[in-house]
Amino acid sequence: MSRWEPDAQGRFRAAAMELFLERGYGETTVADIAQRAGLTARTFFRHFADKREVLFHGADRLRQTMIGALHGAPANATPFEAVTAALDASSEFFRDNREFARRRSQVIAANADLHERELIKLAKLSEALAEGLRLRGVTESDARLAAEAGIAVFRVAFGHWVAVGEQRTFGEILHDSLGRLRALTSNR
């Protein structure tokens, strides 16, 4: 980087989110975002490939965080306990970002292309969890089922967490959802 800008990335994120909510995602350009942030488009492209990346920038780091926790689970953990360790790590990851996550969810819900991108992100996360489980010696079938079930819990819990008025932490909601999944799938 040729010039140092204090927290340029954070300023671009905040500016982009304001504009996406004010005007709509499709109606916001990188030039608009840079202007709102008081920075240049050139600086924007040092941090993000395009405006969509502002919304999906954290996906790789989230996946690494979750996969790291999966690998770090005790050797005798069941597949679903290992997935739960990954989910717990995601709750640490999101701890301080609830307001950003709320706004981001609103932007994504309003745009079909972004919604598809979000689905693909979660599918990749599921595939990465399944791969991590296979490396722990879990069978192909159990790895995929445990990973998909874990992502199902993640999605549902995340939806609650960003809902207006929800007070519980992401970790609390995750554990409630895990308990509900167990209750739902058990024989009555």
Minimum Å distance from CB 145 to its own copies? 5
Tokens of 5: 């800008």
Q: Do residues 71 and 62 lie in contact, with contact meaning Cβ atoms separated by under 8 Å? A: no
119 counts as binding its own copies under rule CB under 8 A? yes
Give yes or no for residue 23 binding its own copies (CB under 8 A).
no
Closest separation between CB of residue 60 and its own copies, Å?
17
- In the chain, DSSP assigns E strands to none
Using the rule CB under 8 A, which residue among 107, 153, 162, 174 binds its own copies?
153
Complex with its own copies: residue 25 or 154, whichever CB lies closer:
154
Backbone phi, psi, residue 137, to 5°: 90, 10
Give yes or no for residue 113 binding its own copies (CB under 8 A): no
- Asked if 30 is part of the footprint of its own copies (rule: CB under 8 A), the reply reads no
Residue 131's Cβ-count burial label (10 Å; 0-12, 13-18, 19+) is: middle
Give the CA radius of gyration of the chain.
Answer: 18
Binding residue (CB under 8 A) for its own copies from 2, 4, 74, 187? 187
Alpha carbon distance 71, 65 (integer Å): 10
Among 129, 146, 162, 174, binds its own copies (CB under 8 A): 146
